[in-house]
Amino acid sequence: MKSMEVIPGIHLLSSFLGAGVWGANVYLLEDNDLTLVDTGFIGRSGQILRKVADLGYAPSDITRIIITHYHADHIGSLAMLKKVTQAKVLAHPADAPYINGRLPEPGAAGPKWLGRSFTHFRRLWSAIATSVDVLVNEGDELPVLGGIKILHTPGHTCGSISLFCPSRRLIIVGDVIAHRFGLRLPSKTFTEDIAQEISSVRRIASLDFDVVCFGHGSPLRHGARNKVSDFARGLSLPS
């Protein structure tokens, strides 16, 4: 299946419009060089690089890999992609210790409910520790597509980031919002602080954009701002 060009210069590489077989969605940002956003589960690097080749690029054209947060469905193929591309890895300092292995992932061996017998799933949940080259913080701007602003949007994880591209009126929100049969919060099981998470959704809703790209689910390209505003308005803290 071909990758999908969300808007000119921004491709969704995952198959089935983000239905999840790759783990999280993987985006490719095309400028003078290439930037990947997230990497899917472990074992996806070959498929990702094939899609990059289909677009006419070599692995070495990828110079940065931005990680929205440390969960294994986003960093699974990071180690292999970094090795092949020699790209710099960018992540927020609060999540970096879980990506580079300095701290054990909370629930590192996989969610407890998977149990020991689900070895296949447990493998998907273990990523190879990979060094983070550039720590990115709230307000940092990357020289990609006219400027990509880093927004610190914690809650799902303490170092979750969103990538706001005002010139393309587009935001990549990682797992802060999921798009599955409508907009949703990420799974509570995997969310560290639900109050922070809701504040982050409200913050995203206050921005000006036309297109939203999610870690899970297909991009929202029509009426995105209103839909996210309505979603944020309907959220309340669990009592």
Chain residues in the site for Zn ion (CB under 5 A): 24, 71, 73, 175, 215
> The sheet that has 27-30: what strands, in order across it?
4-7, 10-12, 27-30, 34-37, 62-66, 88-91, 134-135
Question: Minimum distance from CB of 73 to Zn ion (Å)?
Answer: 4
Question: Minimum distance from CB of 24 to Zn ion (Å)?
Answer: 4
Of 10 and 176, CB closest to Zn ion:
176
Question: Minimum distance from CB of 72 to Zn ion (Å)?
Answer: 9
Q: Distance between alpha carbon 80 and the CA centroid of its chain, in Å? A: 17
Question: Minimum distance from CB of 178 to Zn ion (Å)?
Answer: 8
Question: Minimum distance from CB of 105 to Zn ion (Å)?
Answer: 11
Residue among 130, 129, 169 at smallest CA distance from 147: 169
Q: Distance between alpha carbon 47 and the CA centroid of its chain, in Å? A: 17
Question: Minimum distance from CB of 214 to Zn ion (Å)?
Answer: 9
Question: Minimum distance from CB of 120 to Zn ion (Å)?
Answer: 18
